[in-house]
Each structure stands twice: as structure tokens, then as C-alpha cells.
Structure 1
Amino acid sequence: MYALPVTRFIPVSKKCWIPVAALIVSTSGSAIAAAKRNKQLRDQSELAVVRSTKTPSLKRLGVFVSAVICWCLGAHNTAATANCPASEPLTWVQLEAVVDGDTLLLSDGRKVRVIGANTPELGYGGKAGQPLGSEAKTAVTTFFQRGAPVGLQIGQDSADRYGRLLAHVFRYDGISLAEYLIASGLAWHLAIPPNDRYWQCLRQLEAVARKQSLGVWSHSEYVPKPVRPLSSADSGFQRMQGVVQSVNRSNTGWWLHMGDLAIRLQDRDLVYFDEVDPHRWLHQTLTIRGWVIDRSHSGGVKNKGYPPFMINLRHPAMLESIVRE
């Protein structure tokens, strides 16, 4: 006969779940096999079934429950419930350090780039950091209780060009890091296909933060930049604004020119737009966000008279507004 101690997590409030042990006695071979298969499960955030031949110590259980309760009560929680809860089971990992507002270092050495949010940059290599960059990092540090598990939902595109793992990141209570940062005004919402899950929810949270002039939405550094003149200093993530002067078709998509900036909308991404016709944007003022790429040193760009900078428009969430002239 085997006694299988089962640890389940039950809610004691909207902010905290605690483990409660139940004892299941079974003589069936399937129960024994199940116990053997699961004896390696140690993640306190999942259902754990562990093989044992005696009832677990109530003293040990009490200490464990008390520790979790203290952890929950001491956690920094900014919302009672998750606005953008995970849509599927999460992979729970251990957080080693916070690199910056949207990058985490795991205990196994992997770096995670948070999907759905982009925070101001910290200063590196003698380059000055952007306003609110250090505040975003501090906010992430306080968002996760030290030593607490971190839930990951890996993106369909699982890695970026720097080798970082791309994932939606969640806290023990189901609140995502992206929603926390965006709702606090410490990040801009991003939607980059195919990793665009939760984009409607995150966009709504950003609209509220923007209306309340929180964080980046009240800082003069982050108003949309005009598309002319642009310099190499304008490379990187930006919010850009200008009038579309021409719309041209290529073999792989559309090119819109406005000032020193060219916008590329590829055919592969048209599925995310609702029957868009780029010709309708001609002579209209667009406000767009994304990464500005400096191509001013390209001979082909110079010879053909193309705008020296470009930005990819891959999702409607990155197109903030269209104003008819």
C-alpha cells in the first residue's frame, strides 16, 4: 500500500494561493507507477505527486505553508487580478537577476526578452540611459519577490537575433510582467508577429496609462519624432510621425515614404491587418512605432534616392493613428 501526499494550490484570496496537502491511499499499480513518474516534480507552482511510504510530517508541512503565506503577504502586488491571464499552462523557472526593464536572467543562464513590452534603455558602454530606464528595472525587481518562481509562455518565435528566449512572463498570481509595466506607464506596447498573443488586452491597458499621463506618456523625450530631419542618433525604438508622400509596390510588399523615413509593410504581414489598402494612407499623417533602421550608408539607397531610414510595420498595434489631411 502506498500513501501518496498530494500538494495542491488553492486560493486564500485574490492575491495568493497556498499549498494544502491531502493524503491519497492506493494499492493500484497505476497509482504506484504514477508516483514513480512524478517523484522528480519539485515545482511548487504545479500539482506535485510524490511517492512516499509514510505520511509527511505535519510540522514540515506547517513550516512550508507558513513560508508560502509570508511570501504571498510580502509580495509587491499592484493589481487584485490579472487583466491578461495566461491562456495555457506555464513553464516555471527560477529568476536569477533583472537585466533591464524587459530582459531577465534565469538561474540556468538563459536570458529572456519579455514579449509585448518595450522599456526605455539603460546606459551601456558610456552611452547615457534613456529617461525612466532605471525606474523600469527597479519596478521589475520589486514586481518579482526574491527567489520566487517565474512563469513563462514561450513565443511561437522562441528566440530573437541576440539568442534571447522570447516569452510572455508571469508572476505567481497570474499577472504578466508586460501588463504590469504597460499599465504603470513604464513600457510601450509591442506586437511583433507571430508573437502577438494578448495584444488587444495590452493595448487597452496602454490606452488607460496614456490617458492618465503615466510614465513615458508624460515625458517630453517620448513624444513622436518628426520624420525630417533624421540622423543616426534617431536609430532604435522610436515613435515617428509624418505625412505619407508616396506609396509604392514591390515584389514582397509595400513601401510608404514620408520625409527621411520609409515604412515597409510586407505581404506576409498583411494577414494581421483588416483588408488594408496602403494607397488610402497617401497624404495622411501616420504615427507609427518600432525600430528605426539607419541605412544611410547603403550605396543602393543613396543611388536610388530612397529615404535614408526605414521602419517595419508588421502589426496594426504598431500603427498608432492615421489622420486625414
Structure 2
Amino acid sequence: MVGASPQNTARATTALSIFFVLFATCTEVGADLRYEVVRDVIDGDTIILQSGERVRLAGINTPELRRDEQLHEPLAKEASSTLLDLIGGQLVGLEEAEDPLDHYGRTLAYLYNSAGQSLQRQLLLKGLASVIAISPNLRHLDEYISAERTARANNQGMWTIDYYRASSISMIKPTAGYTFVYGRVQRVELTEKWFVFALTKKFVVLIPRQDWNRHFDYKPCSLDRARIAVRGWVSMTGKRYRLVINHPFMLERCGHEPIRLCPNSQARSVSSSQGQDACV
């Protein structure tokens, strides 16, 4: 945890009027901001306000800081220290996300510093974060995707490290947490509430039917036997690993533009017609 000193907090509080002026003239800021003093930076995507409110930066995920320092993900410390530097005077503007609370009770928000810079966008441009799309929190998705694409093109941060390359489902043992993975869909199952895409007998991608109908522009059975790459959080239920998503950005069809996670050898189109009869 990186803390803000009492001296910095005091200086930040007295600078509030200047902060308002900067925000009024900047171009990156969204509407309906509230202005808060930052007490602590927990990691690259989580802060604590002076009031004690915990805030999670919406729309991105940064490398994980773990209890055991030896288990920190690559660039986790850099993401945390960069966020602290971006905050600068300890004052931030918060634009609450469309769905403003996560399941931990943290506020989800788009954050801006006193220079009017989007903190999410700056972390993405430096390759210290990846984009996540969780409906309905999609207000700045296009902006964030563009920033991630720029970081990739410029070989920034995590996009130069093998640890963050998508792993083949056949080569890894899934563990709980955020990951990039690719493989061939072995089976598609359509239930009343879920569309289930099995990459192996023990690893499935789940998409709520209502979210598929709202956001996806192709038929679920078109993924049967197709190669895909997915980003998101893996959890375990019983003896099966599951990765739940609700927006098409999180699922890449190898062979369909834009290519982000699919390795080059998997990027060509793969016919899925042979598997249509198995889509149930």
C-alpha cells in the first residue's frame, strides 16, 4: 500500500479551487464529476479516499500485487507507483460508472487527475493495464481500446512480456484470477440462462443469454469448433473452471479483425460448419 502523507493531503486540499479550474478547461473529462482527496493507493487500479471509500478504476485491470511479494505479477509495482504519480497532488475527479458498485462494495469510477488526464487511459498507454468490458460500464470503452491498441503498437509494458501473452488452454493449468487464454471451442450448449462454450471438459466460457442477445452480432453456434481467445477472471465451481463474460470485446474470434490476443498461427479463419450439429 502506498500512502499519501498528511503534508501532501493538506496541500492537496488547499489546491482544490485550482483543481476545479483545470477540470473545467480539460478535454478528457466526462460529465458529473465529484472531487475527492486520495488517502492511499492500494495497487494499480484501486485507491482509498480520505473518507475511507474504496474506489476501483472501471474499465481496466492492472497486474496483481499479492500478499507475498515474491508472487507479485510482473509490472504490478510499476502500475501502483505510476498511479500514485499520476494522482500527483492527491486530488482526483470521480465520474461514477453506470453500475457504480462491484461485488466487493467498492465504488466503480472513471478517474481524472488535476491535469484533467484520464488515469485509466494513461495506464493503458503505458502498457500497465489491459481493457475490460463489463456491461453496463462501457462509457469509455472505445477510448480505452484505442489506448491499449496504441500501447501494443508501441511495445509498451505488459505487451512485451511473455507472461501476458495469451496461453493455449491445452498448455496451461488454469488458476483463479485474471487471465488471457485461447483454444478451440469443443462444444456449445445453449441453456435458458447461459450460453456455454467448452474449451475442454474442465474449462468453459459462460455468457448470459440476455447479454449475448444485447451485445453480440453473430450466432453462438458459429463458435462451435472455432478458435477463440478470451480475457477475464477464472473461477472454479466444483471440478470445472469457468470464465464469465458479458461483452464481445472480451471474446476474440481468431481470424476476425481486430486481432488482439490470438497468436499469429491461430489468426486465420477456421470453418465451424463441421460442428454445427453439436451445438445444442
TM band (smaller chain): 0.7 to 0.9
Per the alignment, residue 33 of structure 2 pairs with 90
Structure 1 runs (4+) greater than 4 angstroms displaced: none
1:160 aligns with 2:102: yes
Task: Give 1:253 deviation, angstroms.
Answer: 2.5
Query: Which of 76, 85, 95 is the aligned partner of 1:142?
Result: 85
1:182-230: CA deviation from partner (whole Å, max 9, x where unpaired): 1110000111111111101110111111122211101011111221355
What CA distance in whole angstroms lies between the structure 2 residues aligned with 1:286 and 1:187?
Answer: 22
Task: Give 1:316 deviation, angstroms.
Answer: 1.5
| Percent of aligned pairs sharing the same letter | 27
Aligned residues: 239
Structure 2 unaligned regions, length at least 5:
1-14, 256-268, 271-280
* Partner SS for 1:258: strand
What CA distance in whole angstroms lies between the structure 2 residues aligned with 1:272 and 1:206?
Answer: 25
Per the alignment, residue 285 of structure 1 pairs with 227
Task: Give 1:261 deviation, angstroms.
Answer: 1.7
What CA distance in whole angstroms lies between the structure 2 residues aligned with 1:240 and 1:273?
Answer: 21
What CA distance in whole angstroms lies between the structure 2 residues aligned with 1:136 and 1:193?
Answer: 25
What CA distance in whole angstroms lies between the structure 2 residues aligned with 1:247 and 1:174?
Answer: 45
* Partner SS for 2:254: strand
Per the alignment, residue 320 of structure 1 pairs with 252
1:72-129: CA deviation from partner (whole Å, max 9, x where unpaired): xxxxxxxxx75xx233131111111111000011000111000011000112156610
Q: What is the letter of the counterpart of residue 244 of structure 2?
A: N
Query: Which of 275, 289, 292 is the aligned partner of 2:217?
Result: 275
Task: Give 1:270 deviation, angstroms.
Answer: 2.1
1:157-177: CA deviation from partner (whole Å, max 9, x where unpaired): 221122211111111232111
What CA distance in whole angstroms lies between the structure 2 residues aligned with 1:121 and 1:248?
Answer: 33
Contact 1:203 1:317 in 2 (8 A): no
Q: What is the letter of the counterpart of residue 132 of structure 2?
A: L
Per the alignment, residue 74 of structure 1 pairs with none
Per the alignment, residue 237 of structure 1 pairs with 178
* Partner SS for 2:205: strand
What CA distance in whole angstroms lies between the structure 1 residues aligned with 2:86 and 2:253?
Answer: 32
1:309 aligns with 2:241: yes
Per the alignment, residue 74 of structure 2 pairs with 131
Q: What is the letter of the counterpart of residue 184 of structure 2?
A: V
Task: Give 1:247 deviation, angstroms.
Answer: 0.9
What CA distance in whole angstroms lies between the structure 2 residues aligned with 1:283 and 1:182?
Answer: 33
What CA distance in whole angstroms lies between the structure 1 residues aligned with 2:219 and 2:173?
Answer: 30
**Greater RCO between the two (CA within 8 Å, min separation 6)?**
2
Per the alignment, residue 117 of structure 1 pairs with 60
Contact 2:216 2:247 in 1 (8 A): no
Structure 1 unaligned regions, length at least 5:
1-41, 48-67, 69-80, 303-307
* Partner SS for 1:175: coil
What CA distance in whole angstroms lies between the structure 2 residues aligned with 1:320 and 1:168?
Answer: 25
What CA distance in whole angstroms lies between the structure 2 residues aligned with 1:184 and 1:209?
Answer: 6
Contact 1:199 1:317 in 2 (8 A): no
Contact 1:170 1:177 in 2 (8 A): yes
